[in-house]
Amino acid sequence: MGEEYTKFIPIQAPSDWEPPSHFPAIETWEKFRKKKWEEGLSYIDSQGLPFTYRFRIARNPKHSTYTKRTEKTDQFLYSFLEENDSLPEDLNSGKKLPILELKQRIPWNSGTLVMGDEDHIRWECVTDSLLELNSVLKSDFLTKFEAEDKFDFQKGIGFINSCPTNSGFGDKLSVSIPARLADSGELRDFRLPTDWGFYREELKGRLVFFRKNFGPNRKNSFFNLVSYLALLVISGKEGTKASFAP
């Protein structure tokens, strides 16, 4: 693997991200973080904020051709789904669909398995609940994507994908919010921690904050970022600071 490829793989962070002491509303954050983990996520969910969360993991079969979907790839996909008892069935006959009828998008384990896109396999989950996202990230079925003998993998790098920024753990977490939250000034104090590896993407009417290559040990950083972002929005709505029971 060449240096031009590896230098673009996102570096793993040495620790979980939390807002530094000089960030706005730090006292509100300190009160919030004293809550039990799931209690805090439940509090954010209860506010009904217009936040949408997305988790994505991308993989390619060993020795696959990027990114062309071939018969060999289809055989692998069929075997992967069959092994995990996830082959779609014909609604009339109840029989498993043959390879030729495998669609590009298949519902699988509370999310969607996307085939033949930027990478051969991508599983993604979209939700407006942090509690649901937390539950998904702890699901046993995600270990199916850790098979180094089945997917393109190289020691010292991790899982290899078509784009180096998607390699390593091959995962990505993002939050999408209405752009009006920034335009209205509710997030005037928000500072995206780009030095930690978070990025901002502007879509039509939406802002997306994301980071790639979290890995299993740094996903809490995403929850911390989203919770802090939510606290700023809640504070802006109330015209004060978010309040918590002592």
44 pLDDT tier (thresholds 50, 70, 90): very high
∠ CA 125-127-128 to the nearest 5 degrees? 160
Residue 8 lies in a domain: no
Percent of the chain with pLDDT over 90: 40
Q: Taking residues 134-148, what's their average pLDDT?
A: 91
Residue 74 lies in a domain: yes
Q: What is the CATH number of the domain that holds 145?
A: 3.30.590.10
Contact 208/158 with Cβ under 8 angstroms?
A: no
Q: Taking residues 190-198, what's their average pLDDT?
A: 86
Residue 232 lies in a domain: yes
Instruction: Please check the confidence at residue 161 and state whether its pLDDT lies above 90.
Output: no
Given the DSSP bridges, would you call strands 111-115 and 121-127 parallel, antiparallel or unpaired?
antiparallel
Q: Mean pLDDT over all residues of the chain?
A: 82
Number of domains in the chain: 1
- pLDDT (0 to 100) of residue 100: 46
Residue 243 lies in a domain: no
Q: Taking residues 29-33, what's their average pLDDT?
A: 95
* Residue 93: CB atoms within 10 Å: 8
pTM for this entry: 0.85
Residue 5 lies in a domain: no
240 pLDDT tier (thresholds 50, 70, 90): very low
Residue type, 4: E
Q: Taking residues 202-216, what's their average pLDDT?
A: 90
Nearest to 161 by CA among 115, 122, 119: 119
Q: Taking residues 153-173, what's their average pLDDT?
A: 90
Show the DSSP H helices in 21-157 as ranges: 26-32, 37-46, 71-83, 130-137
Residue 62 lies in a domain: yes
| Full domain range(s) for residue 104 | 20-238
Residue 15 lies in a domain: no
Residue 179 lies in a domain: yes
